[in-house]
Amino acid sequence: MVDAADLLEFQRHLAEAHHIAITSHRSPDADAVGTSLALARYLRSTGKEVTCILPDAPDEALDWMHGVADIVLFDRDPGAAQEALHRADVLFALDYNGLNRLGPMADAARAATGTWLMVDHHMGPEDFPTAMVHDARCSSTAELLYGVIAGLGGREAVDAEGAALLYAGMMTDTGSFRFRSVSSETHRVIAEMMDRGLDHTAVHEAIFGEQPMDRMKLHAFAVVERMEVYPEFQTAFVHLTAEDMERFNYRAGYTEGLVNKALGVAGVKVAVFAKQSSDRVKMSFRSVGNYSVRDFAEKHFDGGGHHNAAGGASNESIGVVMARLRGLLPEIAAGLAATEQENT
CATH number of the CATH domain containing 122: 3.90.1640.10
Distance CA 235, CA 301 (A): 17
- What pLDDT sits at residue 14? 97
Are 162 and 142 part of one and the same domain?
A: yes
Give me the pLDDT at residue 266, please: 97
Give the burial class of 42: count Cβ atoms within 10 A of its Cβ; 0-12 exposed, 13-18 middle, 19 or more buried: buried
Q: Of the residues 157, 185, 208, which one is the last residue of a structural domain?
A: 208
Query: What tens digit of pLDDT does each residue of 277-304 get?
Result: 878 999 999 999 899 999 999 999 988 8
Residues 101 and 8 in one domain: yes
Do 232 and 156 belong together in one domain?
A: no
* Nearest by Cα to 168 from 122, 120, 205, 133: 205
Is the same domain home to 175 and 248? no
173 vs 189: CA distance, rounded Å: 15
Do 75 and 162 fall into the same domain?
A: yes
Q: From CA 133, how far away is CA 140, in angstroms rounded?
A: 12
Q: Are 96 and 25 in contact (CB under 8 A)?
A: yes
Q: Are residues 175 and 230 in the same domain?
A: no
Write the single-letter amino acid at 150.
Answer: A
Query: The pTM is what?
Result: 0.89
The reported pLDDT for the residue numbered 260 is: 92
Burial class (CB in 10 A: 0-12, 13-18, 19+), 177: middle
* Residue among 195, 234, 194 at smallest CA distance from 336: 234
Q: What CATH number corresponds to the domain at position 318?
A: 3.10.310.30
pLDDT at 341: 77
Clarify whether residues 161 and 248 are in a common domain. Answer: no
Per-residue DSSP letters for 122-186? Answer: SSS--S-SSEEEE-TTSS-HHHHHHHHHHHTT-GGG--HHHHHHHHHHHHHHTTTTTSTT--HHH
Whether 221 and 195 share a structural domain:
no
Which 3 state secondary structure label does DSSP give 323?
helix
Residue 301's H or E segment, with its range, is helix 293-301
Give, rounded to a whole angstrom, the gap between the first and last alpha carbons of the chain: 32
Q: Which residues make beta-bridge pairs with 247? A: none
Instruction: Count how many domains the chain has.
Output: 2
- Same domain membership, residue 293 and residue 173: no
Q: Are residues 261 and 159 in the same domain?
A: no
pLDDT along the chain (344 residues), means of 10: 89 96 95 98 97 94 95 97 98 96 96 98 94 95 97 94 97 89 95 96 91 94 98 98 95 89 96 92 94 95 89 95 98 94 70
Residue 110 CB: number of other CB atoms within 10 A? 12
Domain end, chosen from 208, 226, 256, is at 208
Last residue of a domain, one of 160, 177, 208: 208
Together in a domain, 131 and 201: yes
192 & 260 share domain: no
Residue 305: predicted pLDDT? 85
Q: Which residues of 203-230 are buried (b: 16+ CB within 10 A; e: fewer)?
A: beebbeeeeeeebeebbeebeeebbebb
Domain that holds residue 172: 4-208
